[in-house]
Structure formats: structure tokens, C-alpha cells
Amino acid sequence: MVHIEPKYQVPRDFEGYGEEGFDAKWPNGARIAVSFVLNYEEGGERCILDGDNMSEPYLWEKGSSGGHRDNARYLNAEHDFEYGSRVASWRLIRLFKEFGWTFTTYAVAMALKKNPTFAKALVRDGHEIATHGVRWKDFWDYNLEEDKAYIKESLLLLKEVTGEMPAGAYFGRGTPQTHHLFPEVWKELGAEFLWSSECYNDDVPYWLDLPWENDLPEKDREGMLLIPYNYDCNDGKFHMAPGFGSSSGESYEKYLKNTFDMLYREGGKMMNIPIHTRIIGKPGRCEALRNFMKYVADKPDVWVTNRRDIAKHFRSKFPYQPDRKWVEDARKQE
């Protein structure tokens, strides 16, 4: 049964920045911030060897036709995930070295624990580690204390494996409370929390007022910075309907270029490119990603960066003020 804590429920917002939009004023006059996000899940998915009652049915090469096995191993699925860990992870490391860019890793803690060499390589090359949960599975029925313990476990395990405490989070799964517990849990650990990407409703970061801070003096309210994520540019659509149409990378490459062109022309926006080792790391698709990266590299005034640096820029340029006062102040300065 789903547990709902009224204290942690945030109202919906259908207006956002409105007709004027919002210019994030990226560093050095950049017209766009481009954020590559690697979802690293291999080894955190469902498998009976890890105590689950079924194999993983979601986001692997056979797609919707793959199915799953109840209370049994499904080697086809297991090996597709292992390809992401064994082969594709290193292909992506080499690719980003070629361009000198860093990405944010949405890291499932148990997955990185099973591939410590890759975990160390991510930190070595300057890629950001963010938490993507302990396991890559649902936990929608946790009570409040279980919820907080799960978040805490993911952070401590990632710190143990990588040597770094994550400053940001994206689970994509959880209870109605999970995503708004982040600032509280980080604070309990005495760690710095910079951003959450548990939203899909904008092309620019924004501050969220936290209802449980309403009774605090304004100077004591901290809010939560949200850096929007997306599904439309997500390579997971190779395994989803309607998806990118086939295993071919060309439709994916074209869609990424179209998205970039629109946001680049508008200016002041950010673009997400969500990728998975076992999906985009297959050679044919990875070449399409490389083509897109070459396209971006040839454009002037583009800031390719990780979410940690996006958060630091936004916090510095537009410090939090309750009730959208930070938006008013930003527009007065224009």
C-alpha cells in the first residue's frame, strides 16, 4: 500500500516561467548548457542471484519481446546488462576523453560496487557521481523511515565505492515522499546537497519552495534546486514504444540535433542527453552519439558540463528566495 505523508506533498505548477521564459545566463556568454547523463544500472537490476523473484524485464536489447523469468535466471537479459558493464562503460570513457567533456553519472550504488574499477575511472576523469538509488528497482511502498534509510544507504555506499559523497540525486522511482526527502537526508548526514533532477517540466533549472519550510523565517528557508531531466532524448527509447523506430542510431542522432538547434536558437536553455551503457554503448548507436557530439563541438558558445557545475552556477547567479522572488530580482537586472 502506498504511504502518503501530507507534509511532503508539493503542489503542481502549470505556469512555470510563463511567456517571458527565463535566461539562465550561462558562463562566458554560452547560449546553451549541454548535460550528458550516464545512467549506470548494470548489476543493480533484478536478478534472482540478488534475492529477487524475477529477472529484469525492462530496458534491455529484446525490448518488449524479451519478457522475464519468474524465480529463474534469464541469461539473455543478464548478459545484455553485463555488456554495459564489461564493454560499453569503457567505450564511453574513451569517447568522452576524445572530446574532453565530463558527464553526470546517475549511479545505482550496488551497480558501481560490482564494478569498482569503473567507479574509480569515473572519479579519475572528473565525471560527477549522483545517486540513482541502492538498486535499480521500485520501492513505492516504503514507509517514511524506510524511505530515508534507503536514500541514506545509497549515499554512504557510493561514498564508500567512489570516495565522493554525491551532491545530487535522480531516482526516477520511489514513494510520493522520496524526492522531497533529499535535502533532509543530506542534512542529517552533514553533507552538501546541491540539486535534484526529479522533474521533467522545464528546459531551465528552477527553485522549489518546500512546504515544510513555510513556518520558518525567510532567511532560514533553503528551498530545493531542481535541474529538469527528460525522456524524449533518452536512449532508453530504443527499447520503448514508440521509441526511435529501430535499433538504428540515425533517428536518434537526428532528434538530438533538432533538439539542440531549437534550444540553441532560443538561448539560455539547457539540453539533457540521458544515456545508458548497455544501450548507447552498442557500437552502432555509440557512433551516432559521437556524430552528435562532433556536431555540438563545432558550434560556438556551448557549455558542455555536468549537473554539479550547472547547480553551482545557478545557485551563485540566482540565489534562492521564497515565493519566486529570485525570478523577480533576476528580471530586474536584465
The pLDDT of 127-149, averaged and rounded, is 94
The pLDDT of 3-19, averaged and rounded, is 92
Q: At residue 74, does pLDDT exceed 80? A: yes
For 256, the grid coordinates are 538530438
Distance CA(224)–CA(237), nearest Å, equals 29
What is residue 245's predicted lDDT score, i.e. its pLDDT?
Answer: 63
Find out whether 95 and 287 touch, Cβ atoms under 8 Å. no
What domains are there in the chain, each with its CATH number? 22-332 (3.20.20.370)
Q: At residue 67, does pLDDT exceed 90? A: no
| DSSP per-residue letters across 162-180 | HS----EE--S---TTHHH
SS3 content of the chain, % helix, strand, coil (to 5): 45, 10, 45
Q: At residue 284, does pLDDT exceed 90? A: yes
pLDDT confidence bin for 47, thresholds 50/70/90:
very high
What is residue 30's predicted lDDT score, i.e. its pLDDT?
Answer: 98
Residue bearing the bigger pLDDT, 111 or 239: 111
Q: At residue 135, does pLDDT exceed 80? A: yes
User: Which residues have CB under 8 Å from 58's CB, separation 6+?
Assistant: 45
The pLDDT of 215-242, averaged and rounded, is 92
Residues 178-228: tens digit of each pLDDT:
999 999 999 999 999 999 999 999 999 999 999 999 889 999 999 999 999
pLDDT confidence bin for 246, thresholds 50/70/90:
low
Number of Cβ within a 10 Å radius of residue 258: 11
Share the mean pLDDT of the chain: 94
Distance CA(171)–CA(3), nearest Å, equals 18
Residue bearing the bigger pLDDT, 240 or 295: 295
For 324, the grid coordinates are 519566486
The pLDDT of 92-106, averaged and rounded, is 98
**Which run of H or E residues covers position 315?**
helix 307-317
Find out whether 187 and 167 touch, Cβ atoms under 8 Å. no
The CA-based angle 106-30-40, given to 5 degrees, is 10
With a pLDDT cut of 90, the percent of the chain lying above it is 84
Number of Cβ within a 10 Å radius of residue 75: 11
Beta strands in the chain (DSSP E): 32-40, 104-107, 128-131, 168-169, 195-196, 206-208, 224-226, 269-276, 302-305
Residue bearing the bigger pLDDT, 302 or 333: 302
pLDDT confidence bin for 239, thresholds 50/70/90:
confident
Residue bearing the bigger pLDDT, 281 or 332: 281
Instruction: Determine how β-strand 224-226 pairs with β-strand 206-208.
Output: antiparallel
What is residue 250's predicted lDDT score, i.e. its pLDDT?
Answer: 85
Number of Cβ within a 10 Å radius of residue 181: 21
What is residue 280's predicted lDDT score, i.e. its pLDDT?
Answer: 96
Q: At residue 311, does pLDDT exceed 80? A: yes
**Which run of H or E residues covers position 277?**
helix 277-280
pTM, full prediction: 0.95
Find out whether 208 and 224 touch, Cβ atoms under 8 Å. yes
What is residue 66's predicted lDDT score, i.e. its pLDDT?
Answer: 81
Q: At residue 247, does pLDDT exceed 70? A: no
Q: At residue 326, does pLDDT exceed 90? A: no
Residue bearing the bigger pLDDT, 73 or 330: 73
What is residue 248's predicted lDDT score, i.e. its pLDDT?
Answer: 65
Distance CA(205)–CA(207), nearest Å, equals 7
